[in-house]
Amino acid sequence: MSRQRIAMLVVIAAATGYLLLTGRHCGISSAVAARAVSVEPATWVGISGDVRFPGLFPIGANNMTTTAILLTEPYCSLSLNLSMPNSPLGGRVRVVCPQPPGDAVIEYLPLAVNEQLLLNIPLDLNRVTAAHLEKIPGIGPVMAERIIQSRQKNGGFSSVSELNMVEGIGDATVRRLSRYLQVVDTKRKY
pLDDT tens by residue, 163-185: 999 999 999 999 999 999 999 86
d(Cα 38, Cα 117) in Å, to the nearest integer? 21
Supply the pLDDT for residue 38: 40
Q: Please report, for the chain, the start and end positions of each structural domain, with discontinuous segments joined by +.
A: 30-115, 122-182
Task: Please determine, for residue 65, whether its predicted confidence score (pLDDT) is greater than 60.
Answer: yes
What's the sign of the alpha-carbon dihedral 49, 51, 54, 60? negative
Top pLDDT among 7 and 164 is at 164
Task: Please determine, for residue 133, whether its predicted confidence score (pLDDT) is greater than 50.
Answer: yes
Residue 12: band (very low, low, confident or very high) from pLDDT cuts 50, 70, 90 = confident
Question: What is the pTM assigned to this prediction?
Answer: 0.57
Which backbone phi and psi does 6 adopt, to 5 degrees?
Answer: -65, -45
Reduced to 3 states, what is the DSSP secondary structure of residue 57?
strand
Task: Please determine, for residue 29, whether its predicted confidence score (pLDDT) is greater than 70.
Answer: no
Which backbone phi and psi does 112 adopt, to 5 degrees?
Answer: -70, 155
Alpha carbon separation from 128 to 42, 121, 136, 148, 173 (Å, rounded): 20, 13, 11, 9, 18
Q: What CATH number matches the domain at 122-182, 1.20.120.80, 1.10.10.410, 1.20.144.10, 1.10.150.320?
A: 1.10.150.320
Q: Which one-letter amino acid corresponds to residue 118?
A: L
